[in-house]
A and B are shown apart, each in its own frame.
Chain A
Amino acid sequence: SAVISQKPSRDICQRGTSLTIQCQVDSQVTMMFWYRQQPGQSLTLIATANQGSEATYESGFVIDKFPISRPNLTFSTLTVSNMSPEDSSIYLCSVGRLAEETQYFGPGTRLLVL
């Protein structure tokens, strides 16, 4: 298993500003992903965070809006840029290892944009 922490756990932001969310894992992992969960909805994959290279984004998500960094095998950040009320969601990171099939999720960051 893996112990995952996210910071901040929640935030209230003004439209037009940006917020950076951190994801820290207690051990090295192969894969890190970022998901968004809009109110009352399921989880949607934003991107795969690649260590040492640019993230791989899913359809509908772009780097200018959701820049991602992954400087090492235990840490990643997701920035939500130029926020609007539609960005109000829970943002979750998940991790996995090639040797293990199970993916684990962080506790999430609850974002409210006013």
Chain B
Amino acid sequence: GIQVEQSPPDLILQEGANSTLRCNFSDSVNNLQWFHQNPWGQLINLFYIPSGTKQNGRLSATTVATERYSLLYISSSQTTDSGVYFCAVEDSGAGSYQLTFGKGTKLSVIP
């Protein structure tokens, strides 16, 4: 099956700093989503981005499908950005709409 690797596994930031999270995947994809899991366990949709670039406030994401990676940018980080960020992909060859998740990046933003 498709492999999804996220880096870094852990990240500690001072409030106000910027960061880049990376997601590499091993095969072509129909769907790529970024999620934020807050400390209460809720998975929040950030972006649906199988290709191209999108921005939403302080967050933006870019996926280069031909090179099989996606980047999530967080600018001017806030303590509420803390949590785990997951990248999930749907294998275009599987035809099943199932998502395969990476192991996540645990972000801690300190005041």
Contacts and interface: CB of A to CB of B under 8 A. Distances in A.
B102 A42 contact: yes
Given A101-B48, A107-B42, A94 B99 contact: yes
Q: Chain B contact residues (Cβ within 8 angstroms of A): what range?
A: 20 to 34
Contacts of B96: 48
B43 A105 contact: yes
A19 interface: no
A96 B97 contact: yes
Contacts, number: 47
Nearest to B4: A42
Interface in A60-114: 90, 92, 94, 96, 101-105, 107-108, 110
Interface string B91-104: 00000111111111
Mostly, the A contact residues are: strand
Nearest to B103: A42
A102 B99 CA distance: 10
Nearest to B32: A101
B33 A103 contact: yes
Given A42-B86, A43-B86, A94-B99, A102 B48 contact: yes
Interface of B: 30-31, 33, 35, 41-43, 45, 48, 50, 86, 88, 96-104
Given A33-B98, A45-B98, A102-B31, 14 more contacts: A33-B99, A37-B41, A41-B103, A42-B101, A43-B86, A43-B101, A48-B98, A90-B41, A96-B97, A103-B97, A103-B99, A105-B35, A105-B42, A105-B43
